[in-house]
Amino acid sequence: MDERKWEDLNIDCMVNILGRVGMKSLLLDVPFVCKSWYRASLNPSCWERLIFPDIKTSYSILFLSNAGEILQWVHDPKLKRFLHQYQIDDSHFSTTAFIKFVVNRSKGHATALRLPPCASETDLKYVSDVCGDLKAVGLPGDLVNDKSGVITELIGKWKRLEWLMLGSSYDLVKILSQISIHCKDFWGLRVFKANIFNDEAIAIVCLRLSI
């Protein structure tokens, strides 16, 4: 029997398979199998679900000198592997650049998004501009607490939003108010560490009645 080759496999079949794997595999495993899998991994259909892992970055102090503190990046192990695989210099790395790199793979076709804890206001605005068809969005607690005003502004761009996961209940009333105005297909809400008082309860009931 003739040996079958990956390049003989229909690319639509490969894309269908890759649409079911996670971001870690799409970034760190699949592209390095062979050229055929690499080409298939670039198809925007593989990047409709942008579920970022819980990556974190921070600085550590190496030592103190007369010139001040000497700082060094401390990367999440997944990011370290990403930098190694794509041969990126640590000094040129930023989480914003990483998020943009992934989001651009979707070419605006992403329908689900979960940002990592280290995401910034800039990241959220960029994703909202590029991905106009988001149906499911997950936002970490730090982002909700610090940038809730930005979130309420951006909800107007998420007109197809159906489901929202918040890492905090901060400013929940304002967020739900904007959802009731702009997101007519909305049906699901999940909030971690929620404090549901009278105003929040009323807002939830009003949202339910409006959709």
In a domain, 72, yes or no: no
Higher pLDDT pick, 79 / 205: 79
Coil/strand/helix, residue 38: helix
For residue 60, pLDDT beyond 80 = no
pLDDT tens per residue, range 74-110: 566 777 777 788 887 777 677 888 889 999 999 989 9
| Residue-range definition of the domain harbouring residue 106 | 48-52+96-210
Quick one: pLDDT band at residue 202, thresholds 50, 70, 90? low
Higher pLDDT pick, 90 / 174: 174
Highest mean pLDDT, choosing among 11-15, 84-88, 181-185:
181-185
Pairing of strands 49-51, 112-114: parallel
At residue 73, the pLDDT reads 47
**Helix residue ranges, H only, 53-193:** 77-85, 95-106, 121-130, 141-154, 172-182
Q: What is the tally of structural domains in the chain?
A: 2
In a domain, 59, yes or no: no
Token pair, residue 170, equals 């901060």
Whichever domain contains 149, its CATH number is 3.80.10
Question: How confident is the prediction for the chain on average, in pLDDT?
Answer: 79
Mean pLDDT of 5-13: 71
Mean pLDDT of 139-161: 87
Quick one: pLDDT band at residue 159, thresholds 50, 70, 90? very high
In a domain, 86, yes or no: no
In a domain, 81, yes or no: no
Pairing of strands 68-75, 136-139: unpaired
Give the pTM: 0.77
At residue 2, the pLDDT reads 55
Neighbours of 145 (CB within 10 A): 14
For residue 68, pLDDT beyond 80 = no
Say if residue 39 is in the same domain as residue 101.
no
For residue 151, pLDDT beyond 50 = yes
Neighbours of 173 (CB within 10 A): 15
Residue with tokens 């549901």: 196
